[in-house]
Amino acid sequence: MKLLQYIKTTALYKFLLDVYKTKPGAFYIICLIIILQLGANVIKSNLFPFFIYSMYSEPQYDIPSTTSRYIFYADDSLLPIQNEHTRGKISEPIERYKKLLLNGGENQVVNKRLHYLSYILPASVVSRLKFALYKKSIDLAAFNEWYKQYFNQYVHLKFSKLSVYECEYSLSDLANPLKITPIITFHE
């Protein structure tokens, strides 16, 4: 009983009552939005931008002690890419390619969204959606040809062999890499 009295004294209750009396259509739209947001919070999804569940309820991770950077070798000589914009543009597809390789060609963000949809759609619909999305996803075998053309858009250089390595550095010593891992090599 005290809870009901408390709810009647809140500003939200008074606002909704006022909207219901003046514009019932707006009242139902507001109630629908509130119900959708509460439902999205129950399944831990991000529906509306004013409250993003994962901003407040995801586990907090420690600050990493290492960082990594991609280095590029053309015909076995290091490419000195000084422009950070160019470095970012040619490194980002390599990062995505590496993640896709680790996940068997599937995008984890798409998988998370499909998981949320599985709460409200039948499994057969979700599996058809997954098939439709991944049928058009990145073909890992076609990446080599595409990346060579993409790389040439930013680094205008003729090469017969392009190698990409990931160098992991300690944040306390950015001059000496801790580990160098070959990622991919392209041949003309």
Residue 138 to residues 6, 95, 175: CA-CA distances in angstroms? 55, 13, 35
Q: Which tens digit of pLDDT belongs to each residue from 159-179? A: 888 899 999 999 888 889 999
- Extended strands (E) in 2-143: 66-74, 77-78
Task: Give the span between the Cα atoms of 83 and 90, in whole angstroms.
Answer: 11
Q: Which tens digit of pLDDT belongs to each residue from 109-121? A: 778 888 888 888 8
Burial level of 152, CB count in 10 A (0-12/13-18/19+)? middle
- Asked whether the beta carbons of 116 and 45 are under 8 A apart, the reply is yes
Strand order in the sheet with 161-170: 77-78, 66-74, 161-170, 173-187
Enumerate residue ranges in the chain where pLDDT < 70: 1, 44-58, 134-141
Q: Which tens digit of pLDDT belongs to each residue from 73-90? A: 988 889 888 888 999 999
Domain ranges of the chain: 2-57, 66-187
Q: Is the pTM of this model over 0.85?
A: no
